[in-house]
Amino acid sequence: MNRPTTETVQLTTLANGVRVVSETITHVQSASVGIYYGAGSRDETDALRGISHFIEHMMFKGTKKRTAREIADSIESRGGHLNAFTTKENTCYEARILAEDLPLAMDVLTDMLRESLFDKDEMEREKRVVLEEIKMYEDTPEEMVHDVFEQTLFPSHPLGQPIIGYEKTVSAMSREDIVGYIGTQYRPDRIIVSAAGNLDHDELVAMTAKAFSDLDGTAPVREQQIPIASGESKQMGKRDIEQVHFCYGAAGYAKTDKRRYPLMILNNVLGGNMSSRLFQEIREKRGLAYSIGSYPRAYLDGGFFCVYGGTSPDTYQQVLELTQIEFDKVLKDGITDDELNKAITQVRGALVLGLESMNSRMHRYGDSILTYGRVIPISEIMAEFEAVTHEKINATAHEILGSDKKTLTAIGAFETEEAA
C-alpha cells in the first residue's frame, strides 16, 4: 500500500511564545514527542562549559512526585522509550510510545522539566557519572578527534567548545548554577513541543498549555557571529592505540545558507556513503582503512565539511595523500552527470525513507521550527536539491576543498603533540 510522501503539519503558538508543532498519522499505532529547548553548549560561559549536557542528565534524577527509577519505569513499563540529547544549539527530551500513552509521556516529560529537584547528593553522584563519560570519550579517539577538529578549526568561537564540557567545569557546578541557567535559557520563546503519530493536535496543545502557560519572559538574544576558520592543524599523541584517527576539512555553511545544498551533494559523491569516491578508492580498491568517509555540519551561523578516517600509522600519510588527490580531481574536473543525478536520487530516497519514522518526523519538525520558524516542506527541499548544477558544485568545491585554511587533526601513537 502506498503512503503519501507529503506532510500535513499543524503549528500553534501559545500566548507566551511556546510553540506546538505536530502531524497526525492515523495509520500508525505509535507517537513520538519531543520537547525542544533552543539552548545548547554554544550558550554557555567559559565557567559553565558542559552545563547544558549536565542539566540533561539531572532532569532524569527525580521530581517532586517521581523518583529516578519511577521516571524510567513509567515509560519503559509501557514498552516505550525515554531519552534526551544535547547539541551545540539545542537540547531535546523525547519519548516514543504507543499512541494511547501520549498523555502519560507528556506528563512524565513536563514533570521532569518543570519539577526536577536537582538534589545536591544526586548532583554529586551524577557529576561522577559525567566525569566517567568524559574519560570514556577521551579513551575513544575515533569520537574525540571530531571535537578536536572543531576546537582547532574554530578556536575562538563557542561552536568550537565540546558539548560534554571539561572535568574542571563539571566538577565545580552547583545547584545555583543549574537553576540560574534554566531560568535564563529555558524560556518560552525557546521551547518547541514537537510530535508525530496517531495523535490529536488540539489535545497536545492543551497538554502543553497546562504544563507551560505560566512561563513568561524571553531568552537572551544569541550573538550571531560567523565562525572564522583558523587554518591551524593539531596532532595529538595517545599511547596504546593501533590506528591514527584523523579529520581533514574546512569551514562550510550555516543552516540558512542555500549553498549547503550543493555541499550535501558534493559530500554524497566524495564520502557520504559506500559508493562514494573516498570509500571506493581507499577502502575497497586499496584496503587501507575500515572507516573512511565525509560529512558536512551546519549551525545557525556557520558550519564545516570534514573527512574522517582511521588507518594504520604506516599508511596514514598515504591515506591523506589519496584524500587530497580526490579533492584535486573534483577541483579540476568536477563530478560527472551520473554522479550528480545519482546523488540527487539518493538524497530524495533518504528524505522519503525518513518519513517512515515518527521519531524522524518529530525531530525534523522541532529542529526546523527552532531554526527557520517553520517546517520546510519536503517538496521545497527537493526543489533545492534538483536545482543543484555542476556550476554550483564547482563553486562549492573551490570554496571548501580549495580553501587555503583547511584543518587537519589527528590522534595516534605519536611521540609528540604538535602541528599536524
pLDDT digits (tens, 9 = 90+) for 32-85: 999 999 999 999 999 999 999 999 999 999 999 999 999 999 999 999 999 999
pLDDT at 49: 98
- What percent of the chain is predicted at pLDDT more than 90? 94
Last residue of a domain, one of 165, 181, 212: 212
- Residue 136 gets the label, from left (phi > 0), alpha (psi -120 to 50) or beta, of alpha
Position 224 scores a pLDDT of 82
d(CA 357, CA 374): 20
CB 361 within 8 A of CB 7: yes
Domain membership of residue 271 (yes or no) is: yes
Could you tell me whether strands 407-412 and 234-237 are parallel, antiparallel, or unpaired per DSSP bridges?
A: parallel
Cα(346)–Cα(364) distance, integer angstroms: 18
Residue 420 lies in a domain: no
- On whether both 41 and 161 belong to a single domain, the answer is yes
Whether residue 208 is found in the same domain as residue 238: no
Specify the number of domains making up the chain.
2
What integer pLDDT is reported at residue 231 of this predicted model? 95
Q: What is the pLDDT of residue 260?
A: 97
Residue 3 has pLDDT above 60, yes or no: no
Other CB atoms within 10 Å distance of the CB of residue 218: 11
What pLDDT is stored for residue 6 in this prediction?
62
Task: Give the H/E segment covering residue 24.
Answer: strand 19-24
What's the confidence (pLDDT) of residue 238?
82
Residue 321, C-alpha cell as written in the block: 595523500
Catalytic residue numbers? 56
pLDDT tens-digit map of 299-318? 999 999 999 999 999 999 99
Report how far residue 303's alpha carbon sits from residue 312's, in angstroms, rounded to the nearest whole number. 29
Does 285 lie in the same domain as 151?
no
Percent of the chain clearing pLDDT 70 (strictly above):
97
Closest CA to 238 of 143, 164, 317, 151: 143
Q: Which of 206-215, 221-230, 292-301 has the lowest mean pLDDT?
A: 221-230
The sign of the torsion formed by the CA atoms of 126, 131, 136, 138 equals: positive
The CATH number that applies at residue 191 is 3.30.830.10
Whether the pLDDT of residue 256 is over 70: the answer is yes
Tell me: do 348 and 204 sit in the same domain: no
419 assigned to some structural domain: no
21: three-class secondary structure by DSSP: strand
Same domain, 184 and 250: no
CB 60 within 8 A of CB 108: no
Type of residue at 119: D
Helix ranges (H only) for 47-189 are 51-58, 68-76, 102-115, 120-138, 141-153, 167-172, 175-185
**How high is the pLDDT of residue 240?**
85
Residue 217 in any domain: the answer is no
Per-residue confidence band for 4, with pLDDT thresholds at 50, 70 and 90: very low
In a domain, 318, yes or no: yes
Residue 219, in any domain of the structure: no
Q: From 177, 212, 247, give the residue that closes a domain.
A: 212
Average pLDDT, the chain: 95
Query: Residue 352 belongs to what domain range?
Result: 234-412
What digits encode the pLDDT tens for the residues 384-419?
999 999 999 999 999 999 999 999 999 998 876 666
**Cβ neighbour number for residue 377 with a 10 Å cutoff:** 12
Any residues with CB less than 8 A from the CB of 27 and at least 6 apart, and which?
3, 198
29 and 172 housed in the same domain: yes
Mean pLDDT of 86-100: 98
Give me the mean pLDDT over the 12-38 stretch: 98
Residues 243 and 376 in one domain: yes
Residue at 229 is within a domain: no
Could you tell me if 40 and 177 lie in one domain?
Answer: yes
pLDDT of residue 5: 52
**Banded pLDDT at 225 (limits 50, 70, 90):** confident
Within this chain, do residues 34 and 179 fall inside the same structural domain, yes or no? Answer: yes
In a domain, 142, yes or no: yes
Q: Give the pLDDT band of residue 131 (cuts 50, 70, 90).
A: very high
- Same domain for 308 and 245, yes or no, is yes
Do 201 and 246 fall within a single domain?
no
Q: Average the pLDDT over 171-177 and give the result.
A: 98
- Residue 418 pLDDT: 64
Average pLDDT of 110-132?
98
Predicted pLDDT of residue 419: 62
**pTM for this one?**
0.94
Residues 64 and 96 both lie in one domain: yes
> Among 182, 212, 242, which residue terminates a domain?
212
